[in-house]
Amino acid sequence: MKKQRKKIAQLFVGAVSIVLIINACKEKDIAPGESVKAEVSTSSAAQLNAIGLMSGNPILPVPTADPDVIYADGKYYIYTTATGPNASQFHAYSSPDLLNWTDEGIVLDLANVSWAQTDGWAPSVVARNGKYYFYFTAAKKIGVAVGDTPIGPFVDKGSALATGDGSDPIDPMVFIDTDGQAYMYWGNTTFNIQRLDSDMISLTGERGHNKPSNYFEAAYVIKRNDIYYLMYSVNHFGNDDYHVEYATSTNPMGPWTNKGRITSPRGEIKGPGHNAVIRKPGCSEEYFFVYHRRTSTNIHERQVAIDRMFFDAAGNIMPINITNSGVTQTGPSAPCYTPDPIPDGQYAIRSKVNTTTGAGLYLDIAGCSQGNADVRTWTRTDCDGQKWNLTYQGNGFYKIISALPTHKSLDLDACGIDRGANIQVWDVFSNDCQLWRIESLGNGSYRIMSKSSNNVLDIADGDPTPGADVRSWNWNGTDAQIWEFEAP
């Protein structure tokens, strides 16, 4: 899926990882922010793409597509389109923390399905009645298999659940409403919606076809504040601009009002689509957006990725920022983040890194420049270049504006997606380069994350020398990435 130079790079990273694992056995102390990946076996392959304490993207160890995601028994599980002979073998991948993913092996093999043995696509999994229900496409029909655990083994019910209307009745998605009623959504071009019976393996009631504008395939539904959000993919999956849009309704069967696009290609990353969404367990407003994308010109070499999803103050889904760093480590004990932990006001922003003599280092505009300028560290001064006005935007993010007379905004240079992108102050714009999420780490410490890249403010190389560059970097938990907000 990746270009040849990236395949070579992956082999190099894998070799380095093996060396690190060996060294870790000799030296029990691991540098802060570094994580040694689980050992790899033929039956359980752990993902090696995690960087620092972030998932990295893509997150799964093999090219695959059309993900669904659930949380069960203390783990996240992702299910994807089948691999193997004639796309006949469905796998599940599990993770306790969104960083390290283990291939749980084949959970359903179409060789064991009597009515279809090819083209196993786009599964959807839900838990109910003490069982797990695995909905899938096979030979352009919808099937359902039942298992006792999130990894099965899943046993097909013995016949197709539905064919649906239209020429391509594919991509099932099952949503269970708060009143207990379950619905299945499916279909390419023609959109099918129908209730599931309480047994979860038969359909009941009238079939609906309310379709939002631009709908093509891959429906996914969530409910938030009594509003139903229907996400769906637009264009053929091989199109570079394959993307996700969404619509809303007050009824799970529609009608639907299109609200616009939430993913777009970014640089060499094409076709971000066919998504699923999961809310962090126990947290009311933390959503993760799982989807596939590609960097290869081969449209079949797709990769599964994960990024954050946010709502604005009016309840609209904000455009998803497609990133390379992915999301931070999120296990069962991880706290829920408060979207606005710092009151609006003016602050000096101090690093946890001190100089070698113990003096504090602060986020500083070089030379107190009143124009567009670089941001660095410096010891405390009276200059307004160390005073920052924070204003919460009502959507999980802040604007951070210099107190200098020209009022420049803290800015991620060119909205750089890669770690190492420069931090500066620039003319104030409304784009994501100038939106920042502030997340509490406890004890008055915070990380400051770019909406555009999901990377954090970082002192280059943890340099304690005044004047060190401030850049963006993936979160690794080192002092160079931890900040405090003090009275100016």
- Domains in the chain, ordered, with CATH? 44-309 (2.115.10.20), 345-486 (2.80.10.50)
Collect all residues with Cβ–Cβ distance below 8 Å to 146 and sequence separation of at least 6: 131, 132, 133, 134, 154, 155, 157, 200, 201
Check: CB of residue 296 under 8 Å from CB of residue 3. yes
**CA gap 284, 337 in Å, rounded:** 10
Q: Which long-range contacts (CB under 8 A, 24 or more apart) does 188-197 make?
A: 188/216, 188/217, 189/215, 189/216, 189/217, 190/164, 190/165, 190/166, 191/215, 191/219, 192/162, 192/164, 192/165, 192/166, 193/252, 193/253, 193/254, 194/162
Of 7-16, 144-153, 338-347, 386-395, which range is least confident?
7-16
Check: CB of residue 445 under 8 Å from CB of residue 483. yes
Judged against a pLDDT cut of 60, whether residue 31 lies above it is answered with no
**CA gap 166, 170 in Å, rounded:** 10
Q: Which residue has the tokens 């920052």?
A: 388
Judged against a pLDDT cut of 80, whether residue 466 lies above it is answered with yes
In three-state secondary structure terms, 39 is: coil
- pLDDT score, position 49: 59
Q: What is the pLDDT of residues 347-358, one digit of tens each?
A: 999 999 999 999
Q: Tell me what the mean pLDDT of segment 76-101 comes to.
A: 97
Residue 27 burial (10 A CB sphere; 0-12, 13-18, 19+):
exposed
Q: What is the pLDDT of residues 308-333, one digit of tens each?
A: 999 999 999 999 999 999 999 998 88
Check: CB of residue 287 under 8 Å from CB of residue 280. yes
Residues in the chain: 488
Of 33-42, 281-290, 395-404, which range is least confident?
33-42
**CA gap 236, 375 in Å, rounded:** 43
- pLDDT score, position 40: 30
Judged against a pLDDT cut of 70, whether residue 10 lies above it is answered with no
Judged against a pLDDT cut of 50, whether residue 24 lies above it is answered with no
Cis peptide before 58 (omega within 30 of 0): yes
- % of the chain residues with pLDDT over 70: 90
CA distance from start to end of the chain: 50
Counting Cα atoms < 13 Å in the Cβ hemisphere of 480 gives 22
Q: What is the pLDDT of residues 425-456, one digit of tens each?
A: 999 999 999 999 999 999 999 999 999 999 99
Tokens for 410, please give them: 């803290």
Q: Tell me what the mean pLDDT of segment 459-468 comes to.
A: 98
Judged against a pLDDT cut of 60, whether residue 16 lies above it is answered with no
Q: What is the pLDDT of residues 177-235, one digit of tens each?
A: 999 999 999 999 999 999 999 999 999 999 999 999 999 999 999 999 999 999 999 99
Backbone dihedral region of 368: left (phi > 0), alpha (psi from -120 to 50 degrees) or beta?
A: left
Judged against a pLDDT cut of 50, whether residue 339 lies above it is answered with yes
- pLDDT score, position 164: 80
Cis peptide before 172 (omega within 30 of 0): no
Collect all residues with Cβ–Cβ distance below 8 Å to 68 and sequence separation of at least 6: 78, 79, 80, 122, 123, 124, 125, 173, 276, 290
Taking the CB of residue 241, how many other CB atoms lie within 10 A of it? 15
Taking the CB of residue 74, how many other CB atoms lie within 10 A of it? 11
Taking the CB of residue 96, how many other CB atoms lie within 10 A of it? 16
Which residue among 66, 97, 109, 245 is the active-site one?
Answer: 66
- Side chain identity at 29, as an amino acid letter? D
Q: What is the pLDDT of residues 223-253, one digit of tens each?
A: 999 999 999 999 999 999 999 999 999 999 9
- pLDDT score, position 320: 98
Active-site annotation holds for 486: no
Judged against a pLDDT cut of 90, whether residue 459 lies above it is answered with yes
Nearest in space to 104 (alpha carbons), one of 71, 67, 78: 78
Residues 5, 7, 9: CA angle, nearest 5 degrees: 70
Which residue among 68, 97, 217, 439 is the active-site one?
Answer: 217
Active-site annotation holds for 66: yes
Judged against a pLDDT cut of 80, whether residue 405 lies above it is answered with yes
Nearest in space to 196 (alpha carbons), one of 210, 185, 212: 185
**CA gap 354, 233 in Å, rounded:** 49
- pLDDT score, position 475: 97
pLDDT category at 4 given cuts 50, 70, 90 is very low
- pLDDT score, position 51: 86
Collect all residues with Cβ–Cβ distance below 8 Å to 125 and sequence separation of at least 6: 68, 70, 77, 79, 132, 133, 134, 135, 150
Cα 365 to Cα 380, 381, 385, 426, 486, distances in angstroms:
12, 11, 5, 11, 17
Stated pTM of the model: 0.90
In three-state secondary structure terms, 8 is: helix
Q: What is the mean pLDDT of the chain?
A: 91
